[in-house]
């Protein structure tokens, strides 16, 4: 497949940050690479953010995506975790912006709707649709990777409907 556009999808986190690069050629999607950036639990928080930045910088360097899709923060009851994930999102958005990558943000419900057609879809439904839409042999693991790919697919579907969301 001739890749017309490369999109980096990101499921933000500071302990585990899922990422996936997909190629978009018209209505065809192709997985190029995916993985998880992990930072050491119990490590000094600023150092964890630096590690996230450095690893994301390497991924961007390997693939040179033109656009990035980042899931917006779904605020939970744990305020500390929400704030820390918000800081990780800031690092992610800054890293992409420094590399001149257009950043698009999507709410979890938008991702579910774009991937499954149902805004309240369960995680297994989303994972299975990611597998089907990318033509994969198995559901991407761990969950963070499947979530990141779902965000990238959401962006691809959004682009297909109109120039930019």
- What is the DSSP annotation of 52-109? HHHHHHHHHHHH--SEEEEEPP---S-HHHHHHHHHHHHHHHHHHHHTT-EEEEE-HH
Residues with catalytic annotation?
11, 71, 144
CA distance 46 to 32: 30
Token readout for 24 is 């978009």
């Amino acid at each position: 497949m001739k890749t017309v556009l490369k999109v980096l999808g990101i499921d933000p986190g500071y302990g585990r940050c899922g990422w996936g690069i997909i190629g978009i050629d018209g209505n065809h999607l192709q997985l190029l690479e995916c993985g998880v950036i992990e930072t050491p639990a119990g490590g000094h928080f600023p150092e964890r953010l630096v590690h996230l930045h450095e690893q994301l910088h390497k991924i961007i360097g390997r693939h040179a995506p033109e656009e990035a899709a980042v899931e917006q923060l779904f605020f939970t009851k744990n305020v500390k975790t929400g704030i820390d994930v918000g800081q990780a999102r800031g690092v992610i958005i800054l890293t992409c912006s420094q590399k001149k990558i257009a950043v698009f943000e999507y709410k979890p419900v938008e991702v579910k709707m774009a991937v499954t057609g149902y805004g309240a879809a369960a995680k297994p439904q989303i994972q299975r649709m990611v597998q089907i839409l990318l033509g994969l042999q198995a559901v991407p693991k761990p969950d963070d990777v499947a979530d990141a790919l779902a965000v990238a697919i959401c962006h691809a579907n959004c682009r297909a409907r109109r120039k930019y969301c």
